[in-house]
Chains A and B, each alone.
Chain A
Amino acid sequence: DVKVTQSSRYLVKRTGEKVFLECVQDMDHENMFWYRQDPGLGLRLIYFSYDVKMKEKGDIPEGYSVSREKKERFSLILESASTNQTSMYLCASAPWAANEKLFFGSGTQLSVL
Protein backbone atom coordinates (compact mmCIF):
# COMPACT_ATOMS: atom_id res chain seq x y z
CA ASP A 1 0.00 0.00 0.00
CA VAL A 2 1.07 3.53 -0.72
CA LYS A 3 2.02 5.40 2.39
CA VAL A 4 1.97 9.17 2.71
CA THR A 5 3.30 10.24 6.09
CA GLN A 6 2.88 13.66 7.63
CA SER A 7 5.31 14.38 10.42
CA SER A 8 2.85 15.77 12.99
CA ARG A 9 -0.81 15.04 13.70
CA TYR A 10 -1.31 18.12 15.87
CA LEU A 11 0.77 21.29 16.00
CA VAL A 12 0.37 24.47 18.05
CA LYS A 13 2.36 27.56 17.07
CA ARG A 14 2.39 31.24 17.90
CA THR A 15 1.69 34.12 15.55
CA GLY A 16 4.81 35.13 13.64
CA GLU A 17 6.60 31.82 14.02
CA LYS A 18 8.08 30.03 11.00
CA VAL A 19 6.36 26.66 10.62
CA PHE A 20 7.47 23.61 8.68
CA LEU A 21 5.08 20.82 7.74
CA GLU A 22 6.76 17.73 6.37
CA CYS A 23 5.36 15.05 4.08
CA VAL A 24 7.03 11.87 2.85
CA GLN A 25 5.71 9.31 0.35
CA ASP A 26 7.14 5.87 -0.30
CA MET A 27 5.85 5.05 -3.80
CA ASP A 28 8.18 7.06 -6.03
CA HIS A 29 5.33 9.34 -7.14
CA GLU A 30 6.20 12.32 -9.32
CA ASN A 31 3.35 14.53 -8.12
CA MET A 32 2.90 15.86 -4.60
CA PHE A 33 0.32 18.30 -3.28
CA TRP A 34 -0.54 20.42 -0.26
CA TYR A 35 -4.19 21.19 0.49
CA ARG A 36 -5.85 22.86 3.43
CA GLN A 37 -9.25 21.75 4.66
CA ASP A 38 -11.68 24.14 6.33
CA PRO A 39 -15.32 23.46 7.28
CA GLY A 40 -17.70 24.48 4.52
CA LEU A 41 -14.86 25.23 2.12
CA GLY A 42 -13.69 21.72 1.34
CA LEU A 43 -10.11 21.20 0.24
CA ARG A 44 -8.24 24.08 -1.33
CA LEU A 45 -4.96 23.64 -3.17
CA ILE A 46 -2.00 25.57 -1.78
CA TYR A 47 0.94 24.32 -3.87
CA PHE A 48 1.90 21.29 -5.86
CA SER A 49 5.05 19.82 -7.35
CA TYR A 50 5.48 17.52 -10.34
CA ASP A 51 9.22 16.95 -10.02
CA VAL A 52 12.17 17.59 -7.74
CA LYS A 53 12.80 21.33 -7.33
CA MET A 54 9.68 22.10 -9.40
CA LYS A 55 6.66 23.78 -7.86
CA GLU A 56 3.48 25.46 -8.96
CA LYS A 57 1.11 27.72 -7.10
CA GLY A 58 -2.32 26.44 -6.35
CA ASP A 59 -5.42 28.45 -5.61
CA ILE A 60 -4.38 29.93 -2.26
CA PRO A 61 -0.56 30.22 -2.14
CA GLU A 62 -0.34 33.50 -0.23
CA GLY A 63 1.58 33.19 3.01
CA TYR A 64 3.02 29.80 2.09
CA SER A 65 6.06 28.42 0.33
CA VAL A 66 7.21 24.88 -0.45
CA SER A 67 10.37 22.90 -0.90
CA ARG A 68 11.02 19.68 -2.79
CA GLU A 69 14.69 18.76 -2.62
CA LYS A 70 14.09 15.01 -2.88
CA LYS A 71 11.44 13.14 -4.80
CA GLU A 72 9.88 11.55 -1.74
CA ARG A 73 9.66 14.67 0.43
CA PHE A 74 7.50 17.78 0.05
CA SER A 75 7.60 20.47 2.71
CA LEU A 76 5.12 23.26 3.33
CA ILE A 77 6.48 26.39 4.98
CA LEU A 78 4.53 29.11 6.71
CA GLU A 79 7.00 32.00 6.70
CA SER A 80 5.23 33.94 9.45
CA ALA A 81 2.25 32.08 10.85
CA SER A 82 -1.01 33.95 11.29
CA THR A 83 -4.24 32.98 13.04
CA ASN A 84 -6.07 32.65 9.71
CA GLN A 85 -3.71 29.80 8.86
CA THR A 86 -5.23 27.66 11.60
CA SER A 87 -6.49 24.70 9.60
CA MET A 88 -6.15 21.03 8.73
CA TYR A 89 -3.32 20.53 6.26
CA LEU A 90 -3.41 17.51 3.96
CA CYS A 91 -0.53 16.23 1.88
CA ALA A 92 -1.10 13.96 -1.11
CA SER A 93 0.92 12.20 -3.79
CA ALA A 94 0.08 10.70 -7.17
CA PRO A 95 1.76 9.07 -10.14
CA TRP A 96 2.50 11.11 -13.23
CA ALA A 97 -0.56 10.18 -15.34
CA ALA A 98 -3.40 12.67 -15.13
CA ASN A 99 -6.08 10.04 -14.64
CA GLU A 100 -4.52 8.63 -11.48
CA LYS A 101 -6.00 9.06 -8.04
CA LEU A 102 -4.36 10.96 -5.19
CA PHE A 103 -3.15 9.23 -2.04
CA PHE A 104 -3.55 11.30 1.11
CA GLY A 105 -1.75 11.49 4.42
CA SER A 106 -3.65 11.60 7.72
CA GLY A 107 -3.35 15.37 7.98
CA THR A 108 -1.83 17.90 10.38
CA GLN A 109 -4.18 20.01 12.47
CA LEU A 110 -2.34 23.30 12.92
CA SER A 111 -3.45 25.85 15.49
CA VAL A 112 -1.88 29.31 15.41
CA LEU A 113 -2.41 31.26 18.61
Chain B
Amino acid sequence: AQSVAQPEDQVNVAEGNPLTVKCTYSVSGNPYLFWYVQYPNRGLQFLLKYITGDNLVKGSYGFEAEFNKSQTSFHLKKPSALVSDSALYFCAVRDSHTGRRALTFGSGTRLQVQP
Protein backbone atom coordinates (compact mmCIF):
# COMPACT_ATOMS: atom_id res chain seq x y z
CA ALA B 1 0.00 0.00 0.00
CA GLN B 2 1.11 3.52 -0.64
CA SER B 3 0.91 6.20 2.03
CA VAL B 4 2.24 9.63 2.86
CA ALA B 5 2.57 11.51 6.14
CA GLN B 6 2.76 15.23 6.78
CA PRO B 7 3.73 15.48 10.45
CA GLU B 8 2.98 19.20 10.89
CA ASP B 9 -0.56 20.57 10.80
CA GLN B 10 0.78 24.11 10.58
CA VAL B 11 4.09 25.81 9.88
CA ASN B 12 4.69 29.44 10.79
CA VAL B 13 7.51 31.42 9.25
CA ALA B 14 8.43 35.08 8.95
CA GLU B 15 8.50 36.69 5.54
CA GLY B 16 11.98 36.52 4.02
CA ASN B 17 12.99 33.46 6.05
CA PRO B 18 13.50 30.02 4.51
CA LEU B 19 10.62 27.57 4.83
CA THR B 20 10.37 23.79 4.95
CA VAL B 21 7.21 21.69 4.82
CA LYS B 22 7.86 18.06 5.69
CA CYS B 23 6.64 14.91 3.96
CA THR B 24 7.52 11.24 4.35
CA TYR B 25 6.21 8.39 2.24
CA SER B 26 5.83 4.63 2.15
CA VAL B 27 5.71 2.53 -1.03
CA SER B 28 6.77 -0.96 -2.06
CA GLY B 29 8.34 0.09 -5.35
CA ASN B 30 9.78 3.37 -6.53
CA PRO B 31 7.81 6.48 -5.64
CA TYR B 32 6.37 9.15 -7.86
CA LEU B 33 6.08 12.16 -5.56
CA PHE B 34 4.10 15.36 -5.95
CA TRP B 35 3.42 18.62 -4.12
CA TYR B 36 0.22 20.58 -4.56
CA VAL B 37 -0.91 23.91 -3.10
CA GLN B 38 -4.44 25.06 -2.31
CA TYR B 39 -5.24 28.74 -1.91
CA PRO B 40 -8.50 29.72 -0.12
CA ASN B 41 -11.63 28.70 -2.03
CA ARG B 42 -9.59 27.27 -4.89
CA GLY B 43 -8.82 23.84 -6.27
CA LEU B 44 -5.43 22.20 -5.96
CA GLN B 45 -2.59 23.54 -8.06
CA PHE B 46 0.42 21.46 -9.05
CA LEU B 47 3.79 22.71 -7.71
CA LEU B 48 6.34 20.06 -8.64
CA LYS B 49 7.01 16.35 -8.99
CA TYR B 50 9.80 13.83 -8.60
CA ILE B 51 9.85 10.87 -10.95
CA THR B 52 13.50 9.94 -11.29
CA GLY B 53 16.92 11.54 -11.64
CA ASP B 54 18.19 14.58 -9.74
CA ASN B 55 17.15 14.51 -6.09
CA LEU B 56 16.51 18.26 -6.04
CA VAL B 57 13.41 19.19 -8.00
CA LYS B 58 12.50 22.77 -8.86
CA GLY B 59 8.89 23.86 -9.34
CA SER B 60 6.53 26.78 -9.57
CA TYR B 61 6.70 30.03 -7.55
CA GLY B 62 10.32 29.42 -6.46
CA PHE B 63 9.57 26.20 -4.58
CA GLU B 64 11.83 23.17 -4.63
CA ALA B 65 11.79 19.75 -3.01
CA GLU B 66 14.48 17.30 -2.04
CA PHE B 67 13.99 13.57 -2.52
CA ASN B 68 15.82 11.48 0.08
CA LYS B 69 15.45 7.75 -0.52
CA SER B 70 17.20 6.61 2.67
CA GLN B 71 14.90 8.75 4.82
CA THR B 72 11.86 8.21 2.56
CA SER B 73 11.26 11.93 2.60
CA PHE B 74 10.29 14.60 0.10
CA HIS B 75 10.38 17.94 1.94
CA LEU B 76 9.19 21.12 0.24
CA LYS B 77 11.46 24.14 0.56
CA LYS B 78 11.74 27.77 -0.42
CA PRO B 79 14.75 29.99 0.32
CA SER B 80 12.74 33.13 1.10
CA ALA B 81 9.05 32.99 2.09
CA LEU B 82 6.44 35.48 0.89
CA VAL B 83 3.18 36.39 2.60
CA SER B 84 1.44 35.24 -0.58
CA ASP B 85 2.82 31.71 0.00
CA SER B 86 0.33 31.31 2.87
CA ALA B 87 -1.83 28.37 1.83
CA LEU B 88 -2.53 24.68 2.40
CA TYR B 89 0.12 22.31 1.03
CA PHE B 90 -0.36 18.66 0.17
CA CYS B 91 2.20 15.99 -0.51
CA ALA B 92 1.12 13.00 -2.64
CA VAL B 93 2.61 9.69 -3.77
CA ARG B 94 2.00 7.04 -6.37
CA ASP B 95 3.76 3.66 -6.17
CA SER B 96 5.33 2.73 -9.51
CA HIS B 97 5.24 -0.95 -8.51
CA THR B 98 1.51 -1.40 -7.90
CA GLY B 99 0.31 0.40 -10.98
CA ARG B 100 -2.45 2.09 -9.01
CA ARG B 101 -3.31 5.16 -11.01
CA ALA B 102 -4.59 7.33 -8.18
CA LEU B 103 -2.46 9.54 -5.99
CA THR B 104 -2.54 9.12 -2.22
CA PHE B 105 -2.45 12.45 -0.41
CA GLY B 106 -1.24 13.50 2.98
CA SER B 107 -3.38 15.33 5.51
CA GLY B 108 -2.03 18.71 4.49
CA THR B 109 0.11 21.39 6.16
CA ARG B 110 -1.08 24.93 6.54
CA LEU B 111 1.71 27.41 5.90
CA GLN B 112 1.34 30.80 7.55
CA VAL B 113 3.87 33.47 6.52
CA GLN B 114 3.88 36.49 8.80
CA PRO B 115 4.82 39.95 7.48
Contact = CB atoms under 8 A, between A and B. Distances in A.
Which has the most chain A C-beta neighbours within 10 Å: B94, B101, B107?
A: B101
Interface residues of A, number: 25
Interface stretch (A13-21, A70-78, A100-108): A100-108
Interface of A: 4, 31, 33, 35, 40-45, 48, 50, 58, 90, 92, 94, 98-99, 101-107
Contact of B105 (A42, A94, A98): A42
B90 A42 contact: yes
Interface string B99-115: 10111111110000000
Contact of B43 (A40, A42, A98, A105): A105
Nearest to B95: A98
Which has the most chain A C-beta neighbours within 10 Å: B6, B32, B51, B103?
A: B103
Contacts, number: 57
A99 B32 contact: yes
Interface of B: 6, 9, 32, 34, 36, 42-46, 49, 51, 90, 92, 94, 96, 99, 101-108
A58 B90 contact: no
B26 to A, nearest CB: 15
Nearest to A48: B102
B104 to A, nearest CB: 7
Contacts of B102: 33, 45, 48, 58
Given A43-B90, A106-B43, A35 B105 contact: yes
Contacts of A90: 43-44
